Structure 1
Amino acid sequence: MGAHHISTDTSRVRRWLDGEQPREPIPRIMSELFSERFGCVVPVEDLGLRSAHQSPSESGVDLPWAGPQTVQLINEFSRSDLMLGRRGFLGASLALSAGPALVEPMQRWLVPPSLGGFPTPAVGVPRDTGNRPNRLSEPELQLLETTTVMFRTWDSQCGGGLRRKAVVGQLHEVTDLLQESHPEAVAKRLYRVTGDLAALAGWMSYDVGLQPTAQKYFVLALHAAKEAADRPLGAFILSSMSRQMIHLNRPDDALELIHLAQYGSRDSATATTQAMLHAVEARAYANMGQVSKCHRAVRMAEDSFTDARKGEDPDWISFFNEAELNAENAHSYRDLAYVAGRSSTYASLAHPVMERAVELFGQDSVHQRAYALNLIGMATVHLLERNPEQAADMTHKAISVARKVRSERVNTRIRKTADTAMRDFGDIAEVIDLSERLAVELPEVAETA
Structure 2
Amino acid sequence: MSGSDADGTGHGKRPNEQLGSWFVRSGWSKGELARQVNRRARQIGAHHISTDTSRVRRWLDGEQPREPIPRILGELFSERFGTVVAIEDLGLRTAHQSPSVSGVDLPWAGHQTVALLSDFSRSDLMLARRGFLGTSLALSAGPALVEPMQRWLVPTPPSGPGPADSAGVRRPSRLSEPELGLLESTTAMFRQWDAQCGGGLRRKAVVGQLHEVTDLLQEPHPAAVSGRLFTCAAELAELAGWMSYDVGLQPTAQKYFVLALHAAKEAGDKPLGSYILSSMSRQMIHLGRPDDALELIHLAQYGSRECATPRTQAMLYAMEARAYANMGQPSKTKRAVRMAEVTFADALETREPEPDWIRFFSEAELNGENAHSYRDLAYVAGRSPTYASLAEPVMERAVELFSEDTEHQRSYALNLVGMATVHLLKREPEQSTRLAEQALHVARRVRSERVNTRLRKTVDTAARDFGDVPEVVHLTDLITAQLPETAEAV
Whether TM-score is above 0.5 comes out as yes
RMSD between aligned alpha carbons? 2.0
Match among 44, 66, 81 for residue 124 of structure 2: 81
Q: CA deviation at 1:270?
A: 0.3
Q: CA deviation at 1:121?
A: 3.2
Question: For 1:390-438, what per-residue CA distance to the aligned partner results, in whole angstroms no more than 9, with x for missing partners?
Answer: 0000000000000111000000000000000000000001101100000
Q: Does 1:398 align with 2:439?
A: yes
For residues 420 and 134 of structure 2, what CA distance do their matches in structure 1 show? 33
Structure 2 distance, partners of 1:233, 1:364, is 25
Task: Confirm or deny that 1:72 pairs with 2:115.
Answer: yes
CA shift, 1:312, in A, is: 1.7
Contact 2:367 2:398 in 1 (8 A): yes
Does the aligned pair in 2 maintain the 1:285–1:294 contact within 8 Å?
yes
1:386 is displaced (CA, Å) by 0.6
Distance in 1 separating the partners of 2:361 and 2:223: 31
Distance 2:335 2:134 in 1: 39
Q: Does 1:373 align with 2:414?
A: yes
**Offset at residue 122 of structure 1 (A):** 8.1
**Structure-1 residue corresponding to 2:285:** 246
State the partner residue of 1:6. Answer: none
Q: How does 1:106-121 map to 2 (within 5 A)?
A: 106-115=149-158, 121=164
Give secondary structure in 2 for the equivalent of 1:182. coil
For 1:287 and 1:157, locate their aligned partners in 2 and report how far apart those are by CA, in whole Å.
28
> Aligned-pair distance for 1:135?
1.9
2:146 corresponds to 1:103: yes
Where does the alignment leave 5 or more consecutive residues of structure 1 unmatched?
1-51, 124-131
Aligned counterpart in structure 2 of residue 293 of structure 1, from 332, 344, 349? 332
Structure 2 spans left out of the alignment, 5+ residues: 1-94
Q: Show the 5 A alignment for 1:267-282.
A: 267-282=306-321
1:208 equivalent in structure 2: 247
Aligned 8 A contact 1:379 1:391 in 2? yes
Task: Give distance in 1, aligned partners of 2:115 and 2:132.
Answer: 18
CA distance in 1, matches of 2:453, 2:464: 16
Alpha-carbon distance between aligned partners in 2 of 1:87 and 1:102, rounded to the nearest angstrom: 30
Is the partner of 2:382 in helix, strand or coil?
A: coil
8 Å Cα contact 1:103-1:256 kept in structure 2: yes
Give a deviation string over 1:329-368, Cα, whole Å, max 9, x none.
0000000000000000000000000000000000000000
1:144 and 2:183 equivalent? yes
Q: Distance in 2 between matches of 1:154 and 1:291?
A: 36
Cα distance change on mapping 1:245 and 1:122 into 2, 3 Å: farther
- In structure 2, what is the equivalent of residue 341 of structure 1? 382
1:146-177 Cα offsets, whole Å, 9 max, x none, are 00000000000000000000000000000000
Contact 1:91/1:213 (<8 A) preserved: no
**Cα distance in structure 1, aligned partners of 2:415 and 2:272:** 26
Q: CA deviation at 1:90?
A: 4.4
What is the aligned partner in structure 2 of residue 16 from structure 1? Answer: none
Deviations 1:304-325 (A, max 9, x none): 1011044421000000000000
User: Per the alignment, do residues 170 and 446 of structure 1 end up closer, same or farther by CA in structure 2, a change over 3 Å counting?
Assistant: closer
Distance 1:87 1:162, change over 3 A: same
Q: Give the aligned partner of residue 434 of structure 1.
A: 475
Q: Check the 8 A contact 1:334/1:350 in 2, yes or no.
A: yes
Measure how far apart 1:444 and its partner are. Answer: 2.4
Deviation at 1:445, TM superposition (A): 3.1
Matches within 5 A, 1:30-429: 53-54=96-97, 59-85=102-128, 90-115=133-158, 121=164, 134-308=173-347, 309-429=350-470
Contact kept, 8 Å, 1:160 with 1:204, in 2: the verdict is yes
> Identity of aligned pairs, percent?
75
* TM-score, scaled to structure 1: 0.84
Amino acid at match of 2:181: Q
C-alpha separation between the residues in 1 aligned to 2:392 and 2:279? 25
How far 1:292 sits from its partner (Å)? 0.6
- TM-score for the superposition, normalised by structure 2: 0.77
Deviates more, 1:109-118 or 1:395-404: 109-118
Mapped contact 1:235–1:264 kept (Cα < 8 A): yes
The amino acid across from 1:113 in the alignment is: T
How far, CA to CA, are the matches of 2:379 and 2:453 in structure 1? 18
What's the CA shift string for 1:36-56, capped at 9, x where partnerless? xxxxxxxxxxxxxxxx84476
Native 8 Å contact 1:67 1:122 kept in 2: no
Match of 2:20 in 1: none
AA partner of residue 178 (structure 1): L
> Distance in 1 between the 2:162 and 2:279 partners?
34
**Paired residues, number:** 391
Q: What secondary structure is seen at the aligned counterpart in 1 of 2:367?
A: helix
Q: How do 1:1-20 and structure 2 match up within 5 A? A: none
- Matched-pair contact (CA < 8 Å) for 2:110–2:159: no
Q: Which amino acid aligns with 1:226?
A: K
Question: Is the alpha carbon distance of 1:356 and 1:91 closer, same or farther for their aligned partners in structure 2, counting shifts above 3 Å?
Answer: farther
Q: Distance in 1 between matches of 2:339 and 2:431?
A: 32
Return the letter of the residue paired with 1:266: R
Deviations 1:166-205 (A, max 9, x none): 0000000000000000011110100000000000000000
Q: Is the 8 A contact 1:118 1:181 kept in 2?
A: no
Aligned residue identity for 1:197 = L
Question: Partners in 2 of 1:299 and 1:347 — Cα distance?
Answer: 17
Aligned partners of 1:120 and 1:181 also within 8 Å: no
CA distance in 2: counterparts of 1:397 and 1:86, whole angstroms? 35
Query: Within 2, Cα distance between the matches of 1:301 and 1:86?
Result: 43
Deviation at 1:113, TM superposition (A): 3.4
Alpha-carbon distance in 1 for matches of 2:116, 2:99: 13
- Quote the offset at 1:91 in angstroms: 4.5
Rounded to whole Å, the distance in 2 between the matches of 1:136 and 1:87 is 33
Mapped contact 1:113–1:227 kept (Cα < 8 A)? no
1-structure distance, mates of 2:269, 2:429: 47
The separation in 1 between residues aligned to 2:132 and 2:262, in whole angstroms, is 23
What CA distance in whole angstroms lies between the structure 1 residues aligned with 2:409 and 2:345? 25
Post-superposition offset of 1:79: 0.5
Give yes or no for contact 1:119–1:183 (8 Å, CA) kept in 2.
no
The secondary structure found in structure 2 opposite 1:59 is coil
Cα deviation, residue 76, structure 1: 0.7
